[in-house]
Chain A
Amino acid sequence: MTTTPQLNRAQGVGPNALTRRDGRVPNSARRRDTLHGWGFAAPFVIAFLLFLVWPIIYGFYLSLTGQSITGANSEVIGFANYAEAFADGDVWRSLGNTLWFTLLSTVPLVLVALILALLVNLGLPGQWLWRLAFFAPFLLASTVVSLFWIWMYNPQLGLINSVLGGSTAWLTDSNTAMISVVITTVWWTVGFNFLLYLAALQNIPEQQYEAASLDGAGKWRQLFSITIPQLAPTTIVIVILQVLASLKVFDQIYIMTGGGPGGATRPIVQYIYETGFTAYRLGYASAVAYVFFAIIVIASMVQVLVTSRRGAK
């Protein structure tokens, strides 16, 4: 075989009975390729256009109207919704709650995952038990997690108060509501980051540790001078994935605290839901959703920048 197939594979050009020896393909074959290509991609493209692209476009159009869920008020009102959103205290509060949640949860979700992975990576007996214990919660639905923890946090009958004493109303006291949800979230999703760290730890060559041992470096020294620096790329990926996921939080907060007390834990996605479906204002909710989208896009851009700069190094 010539080297052309390698090139073709990289360019995604498939083998073709009509491919000439110089790698070029006649026009009739090109047309047939186009037909085939779109044919294969068609089901996906149709679904993609219908249920992703169209809603994005129509959502923007909705945000320019005062559309109500009952069908009333569908005239275009320009950017009035956006102006209202920037002046809306509840929008800022919800964004603030979301950022606070992101900050509070990202740090433990990285640190705890790292500690768990380091411990499990020691190779001690019981590997299946550790993996089960730390990763299994990740497979649960948000409702199940929330129900388990609402029960744990029950002021009179919950496990937490029976162990710690007192009758703190964890989920209804504005001082403790957010941290309670954060603890639940850490329990629930740390397993994923734990896995990523575990895989990355496997990747560190044994020779580095052996060489360090020969040089007289103890286990802790090895941890800080070899392990952790080598985990930096993974850590960055995890932090970014975590931040992006936290910005989109909804389920567990809505189910456990309803956004309360008095909106103290309400994330921005819940505000979008309430504005559109409880208060009937689909148009305004779309505008807030686009503000939220803009924030996600910016955060994703940061992700792309950071990872590509690291890749270029």
Chain B
Amino acid sequence: MTATEVLDRTEASTDRRVPSARQGRDRRKPLRPSSIIALVILAVLAALWLMPFAWAIVTSLKSEADAGATPVTWIPAGGFTLDAYTSVLSEGNIPQWAFNSVFTSAVITAIAVAISALAAYAFSRIDFAGKRVLFYVTIASIIVPPQMLIVPLFYQMLAFDMVDTYAGIILPQLIHPAIVFILKQFFDQVPIELEEAARVDGASRMRVFLQIVLPLSRPILAAVSIFIFVGAWNNFLWPFIVTNDASLMTLPVGLQTVQSAFGVQYAQDMASAVLAALPLIIVFLFFQRQIIKGFATTGFGGQ
């Protein structure tokens, strides 16, 4: 399946208004007994899946005493409170880590999408010496697991004096050969007549790229941007290796590495985790279809 085909099919499955080829039933008829059973099963499964969220949120709204009290209850004896959140936001490093995550993820996304699109356009539209070799090497590199590069990359960051810097976090995360491949596939499908006409009129390749091809590629660019942004935001291993200074850590790394001087505080731990989960969940609630499309499309390019 090409990227566009996956795009269309996921769109169909997520778009409630499009009549889709499903084992459907007419909505106006009442539910059959078997459907009710299926609905119950789904509800139970969904409840199970939402349970860890719910449990974490409820814990974060308790006082520390209630959070550590037995027997375990959903409703705390002392009532709900936002103390854990105020403590975590005022005393800890979470705002700093959140900023680091936003900053590095945004920079990574912007640069990675830009350089991947440029390269993909070259692969798609320009015949240049060595292109075949370069393309196959790029595709082959999709196999390389980033986990095996942590040692030489760290060594390299030592040599460049980039350990504990933003550059150290950002630079190795700019390379997405799978994204180059996906974008190239997409560009291949763009009708070439538009570009040909512009070039005949004397437009440079860069102008054609920027003013014709890119605007037509908004859906795929949005999809890959989301994919890269979420991946960069959630990335643990590399930022964990390259940052030791607590003020440079991204949110996932900071949460795991830095301990409270006061020992285990369950409500605050859960408050921190919920805060870390919040941005992407909110984004998901608003941009559900966009995100699902993004993942279904780029997912085929490899993980």
B143 and A12 contact, CB distance less than 8 A: no
Looking at the complex, which of A84-92, A102-110, A132-140, A169-177 is the stretch in contact with chain B?
Answer: A132-140
Mark out the residues of chain B between 19 and 71 whose CB falls within 8 Å of any chain A CB in the assembled complex: 20-25, 31, 34-35, 38-39, 41-43, 45-46, 49-53, 55-56, 59, 67-68, 70-71
B156 and A119 contact, CB distance less than 8 A: no
CA distance A74 to B104 in the complex (A): 33
Closest A residue, CB atoms, query B277: A144
A17 and B199 contact, CB distance less than 8 A: yes
A142 at the binding interface (Cβ < 8 Å): yes
Give the residues in chain A near B42, CB-CB below 8 Å: 119-120, 124, 126, 130
Give the residues in chain B near A30, CB-CB below 8 Å: 127, 129
CA distance A132 to B145 in the complex (A): 29
B80 at the binding interface (Cβ < 8 Å): no
User: Residue-by-residue, is B140-184 near A (CB-CB < 8 Å gives 1, otherwise 0)?
Assistant: 010111011111111110000000000000011011010010000
Mark out the residues of chain B between 259 and 303 whose CB falls within 8 Å of any chain A CB in the assembled complex: 266, 269-270, 272-273, 276-277, 280-281, 284-285, 288, 291-292, 295-296, 299-300, 302-303
CA distance A293 to B145 in the complex (A): 7
B150 and A272 contact, CB distance less than 8 A: yes
B53 and A143 contact, CB distance less than 8 A: no
In the A-B complex, the 10 residue pairs with the closest CB atoms = A37-B128, A15-B196, A14-B125, A59-B152, A44-B119, A40-B122, A55-B152, A162-B72, A133-B46, A143-B252
A79 at the binding interface (Cβ < 8 Å): no
Given contacts A12-B131, A159-B55, A251-B237, contact A36 B199 (CB under 8 A): no
A292 and B148 contact, CB distance less than 8 A: yes
A181 at the binding interface (Cβ < 8 Å): no
User: Residue-by-residue, is A240-277 near B (CB-CB < 8 Å gives 1, otherwise 0)?
Assistant: 01001101101100010000000000000100110011
A228 at the binding interface (Cβ < 8 Å): no
User: Residue-by-residue, is A29-62 near B (CB-CB < 8 Å gives 1, otherwise 0)?
Assistant: 0100111111111011101101111111011001
Which residues in B have some Cβ–Cβ distance to A below 8 Å?
6, 9-10, 12-14, 16, 20-25, 31, 34-35, 38-39, 41-43, 45-46, 49-53, 55-56, 59, 67-68, 70-72, 114-116, 118-119, 121-131, 134, 138, 141, 143-145, 147-156, 171-172, 174-175, 177, 180, 188, 192-193, 195-196, 199-200, 202, 205, 209, 230, 233-234, 236-237, 241, 251-253, 255-256, 266, 269-270, 272-273, 276-277, 280-281, 284-285, 288, 291-292, 295-296, 299-300, 302-303
Q: Point out the residue from B52, B130, B155 that lies within 8 Å of A62, measured CB to CB.
A: B155
Q: How far is the CB of A17 from chain B (nearest CB, A)?
A: 6
B9 and A156 contact, CB distance less than 8 A: no
A122 at the binding interface (Cβ < 8 Å): yes
CA distance A195 to B241 in the complex (A): 32
A199 at the binding interface (Cβ < 8 Å): yes
CA distance A47 to B200 in the complex (A): 33
Given contacts A56-B152, A272-B147, contact A51 B35 (CB under 8 A): no
Q: How far is the CB of B42 from chain A (nearest CB, A)?
A: 5
User: Residue-by-residue, is A147-159 near B (CB-CB < 8 Å gives 1, otherwise 0)?
Assistant: 1110110101111
Give the residues in chain A near B266, CB-CB below 8 Å: 151, 154, 157
Q: Point out the residue from A129, A140, A269 that lies within 8 Å of B46, measured CB to CB.
A: A129
Q: How far is the CB of A199 from chain B (nearest CB, A)?
A: 5
CA distance A237 to B149 in the complex (A): 26
Q: How far is the CB of A74 from chain B (nearest CB, A)?
A: 11
B126 and A195 contact, CB distance less than 8 A: no
Which residues in A have some Cβ–Cβ distance to B below 8 Å?
1, 5, 8-17, 25, 30, 33-41, 43-45, 47-48, 50-56, 58-59, 62, 67, 116, 119-144, 146-149, 151-152, 154, 156-159, 162, 187, 192, 195-196, 198-199, 201-206, 209, 219, 222, 237, 241, 244-245, 247-248, 250-251, 255, 269, 272-273, 276-277, 282, 285-286, 289-290, 292-293, 296-297, 300
Tell me the dominant secondary structure on chain B's binding face. helix
The winner among A11, A51, A158 for most chain B CB atoms within 10 A is A51
Q: Point out the residue from A16, A122, A159, A286 that lies within 8 Å of B152, measured CB to CB.
A: A286
CA distance A15 to B198 in the complex (A): 10
Given contacts A8-B192, A58-B152, A157-B266, contact A250 B237 (CB under 8 A): yes
Q: List 27 A-B contacts (CB under 8 A).
A: A5-B192, A5-B196, A17-B202, A41-B122, A47-B171, A48-B141, A48-B175, A51-B172, A54-B156, A55-B152, A55-B156, A119-B42, A128-B288, A130-B42, A132-B284, A132-B288, A139-B281, A139-B284, A141-B233, A144-B252, A147-B269, A202-B12, A245-B303, A248-B145, A250-B147, A272-B148, A292-B148
